[in-house]
Amino acid sequence: MTPEANARAELLQLIDSKMNRTLKYYLDTCVRCAICKDACHQYVATGDVLYLPAYRAELIRRIYKKYMTGSGRLLPKLFEGRDPEDDVLLDELYKTTYACTSCRRCMFWCPFSIDTSWVLAVAKALLLATGRGSEILTQLADSAIDKGKNIDLYTGVIREVLKGSEEEMRRIVQDPSAGFVYDKQGADVLYVALAGTHTILPAAIVFHQAGEDWTLSSFEGSNYGYFLGDTVKAKAIAQRIVDEAKTLGVKEIVMSECGHAHRVMRDFYRMWAKEELPAPMVSILSKVDGYIKDGRIKVTPGKITEPVTYHDPCQIGRNFGLFEEPRNVVRATCSDFRDMTPNRQKQWCCGGGGGLVAETEFDDVRLKSGRLKADQIKATGAKILVTPCENCRLQIESLNDHYDLGVRVSAVLDLVVEAIEIKPR
Ligand code: SF4
Ligand code: SF4
């Protein structure tokens, strides 16, 4: 076999290893009805066929049909068969695959529920195998893995930096003994935040007021290995949290306001590691909704009087199923709540998911495709936009400037802290 033929055989073997029954169904079933064209914010905003969901999947489908079906092997031209090492195909595949925000709005619209983002997971594996993975996502994933390997070097520095926030916490909760809790054996809750204090301080205040038995994870929930499409790296990043939960023997793993972190821990870790989580994963949004309902924390009803709207992050709403819990919490804090149209399963993606906010090469499509979300926000007349996802918040901050929306972008827990009635403990 020539080196070229060898390389092709290896790539085909890689694609074949990803082909399970569901994926074959997706590749065999598309009838090219193009209903999905009206679902994808990137296609609707740009009209570029590169962003048509069916076309994105079609690039992988052509390799599959040519090499992995009998009819394709016999009549490759009829099926527009393509080769996996074809440079033009790989260039196009890079642009269309890493631009996809994995919002799965197209799947919701497709009469056959074809999950284009799943097909594109195969495309990412192919791109990585040919040395064409996203550079910035690779760097971010590698740095998270490095942190996991050298956690003792990091924890001292991070905890020192967080001391100022602990001081602020004590002032807000009026308790000189309050603080962030670290490495607590047998805690009920292992809280997994994001990098920086903005997702730690509000949660710490809420946990303190609820009398929760909690401890703070040394690791952040974000997972750039998942965005990159490298399941080995993605698993290694998630594994740090799983090992910590095992070591501490916690009862629940509570995820911060981060969409993809919710799905990684609930849906994907099990698939990658072939093991269950050592404790159930619960969203911080469900916890806080429960605290308010059970009277463990009290918020002043209608404390926030400016009009508030809520953006359903794709990975928390459509793909995880949390629609009412965050709305309950937001509604409890404000007097003028205005839902966007459409919302819940049908909401438009903000355009920043899938790692796009970190990939400057996609800035143009990110901002253009965010126009649909910007129009929705404007139509509500809201002055505060709340959303429980870091990527969505960064993207909507960007849209705020770009489309002059004039909104304050907030996390759900920030509103809770604004409206909470402090009980000295
Ligand atoms: S809606 Fe579904 S079946 Fe129709 S073109 Fe899109 S992916 Fe294919
Ligand atoms: S998952 Fe979202 S961004 Fe990706 S093709 Fe479907 S609608 Fe477009």
3-class DSSP string for 256-268: CCCHHHHHHHHHH
What tens digit of pLDDT does each residue of 178-232 get?
A: 999 999 999 999 999 999 899 999 999 999 999 999 999 999 999 999 999 999 9
Q: For residue 336, what are the CA distances in angstroms to 68, 115, 265, 309, 415?
A: 56, 36, 34, 9, 13
Tell how far the Cα of 317 is from the centroid of ligand 2, in angstroms.
15
Domains annotated for the chain, with CATH where assigned, are 3-132 (1.10.1060), 136-292 (3.40.50), 298-419 (3.40.50)
pLDDT tens track for 228-250:
999 999 999 999 999 999 999 99
- The residues facing 192 across adjacent strands are 255
The CA distance from 277 to 285, in Å, is 20
For residue 101, the CA-to-ligand 2 centroid distance in Å is 6
Distance from residue 55's CA to the centre of ligand 1 (Å):
9
Burial environment of residue 422 by CB neighbours within 10 A (0 to 12, 13 to 18, 19 or more) = middle
Q: State the distance from the centre of ligand 1 to the C-alpha of 40, rounded, in angstroms.
A: 12
pLDDT of residue 69: 72
Element (H, E) at 310: strand 308-310
* pLDDT score, position 77: 58
Regarding the beta carbon of 35 and ligand 1, being less than 6 Å apart is answered yes
Q: What confidence tens digit (pLDDT) does each residue in 32-46 have? A: 999 999 999 999 999
Q: Judge if the beta carbon of residue 409 lies within 6 A of ligand 2.
A: no
pLDDT at 76: 58
Ligand 2 site, residue 101, Cβ cutoff 6 A: yes
The alpha carbon of 388 is separated from its chain's Cα centroid by a whole number of angstroms, namely 10
B/e letters for 251-262, b = 16+ CB within 10 Å, e = fewer, are bbbbbbbbbbbb
For a mutational test of ligand 1's pocket, the pick from 58, 112, 113, 118, i.e. the residue with the most ligand atoms closer than 8 A to its C-beta, is: 112
> Does the Cβ of 38 fall within 6 Å of ligand 1?
no
Q: What is the spatial distance between Cα 60 and Cα 35, in angstroms, rounded to a whole number?
A: 19
Q: Tell me which of 25, 29, 35, 59 to substitute to probe ligand 1's pocket, judged by most ligand atoms within 8 Å of the beta carbon.
A: 35
pLDDT for res 72: 60
Closest ligand 2 atom to 104 CA: 1
pLDDT tens, N- to C-terminus, the chain (425 residues) = 777 777 778 888 888 888 889 999 999 999 999 999 999 999 999 999 999 999 999 888 888 887 777 666 655 555 566 776 677 788 999 999 999 999 999 999 999 999 999 999 999 999 999 999 999 999 999 999 998 888 888 898 999 999 999 999 999 999 999 999 999 999 999 999 999 899 999 999 999 999 999 999 999 999 999 999 999 999 999 999 999 999 999 999 999 999 999 999 999 999 999 999 999 999 999 999 999 999 999 999 999 999 999 999 999 999 999 999 999 999 999 999 999 999 999 999 999 999 999 999 999 999 999 999 999 999 999 999 999 999 999 999 999 999 999 999 999 999 999 999 999 87
Asked if residue 100 has its Cβ within 6 Å of ligand 2, the reply is: yes
Alpha helices in 249-389 (DSSP H): 259-263, 269-273, 284-293, 324-333, 363-369, 371-380
Ligand 2 in contact with 56 (CB < 6 A)?
yes
Yes or no: say if 373 and 396 are a contact pair by the CB < 8 Å rule.
Answer: yes
Q: What is the pLDDT of residue 84?
A: 67
123 within ligand 2 shell (Cβ under 6 A): no
Q: How far is the CA of 42 from the centre of ligand 1 (A)?
A: 16
Q: How far apart are CA 12 and CA 68, in angstroms?
A: 9
Question: For a substitution probing ligand 2, which of 263, 347, 349 has the most ligand atoms within 8 Å of its CB?
Answer: 349
Mean pLDDT over the full length of the chain: 94
Please list, in sequence order, all residues whose beta carbon lies within 8 angstroms of the beta carbon of residue 108, skipping any fewer than 6 positions away. Answer: 39, 318, 345, 346
**What is the reported pLDDT for 350?**
98
What CA–CA distance (Å, rounded) separates 346 from 352?
17
Ligand 2 neighbourhood includes 52 CB (under 6 angstroms): no
Mutational test site, ligand 1, from 25, 29, 106, 110, max ligand atoms within 8 Å of CB: 110
Q: What is the pLDDT of residue 252?
A: 98
116 lines ligand 2 (CB under 6 A): yes
SS3 label, residue 80: coil
Ligand 2 site, residue 369, Cβ cutoff 6 A: no
Distances in Å between the Cα of 139 and the Cα atoms of 130, 145, 218, 225, 227 are 17, 10, 20, 10, 12
* Tokens describing residue 164: 């100022």
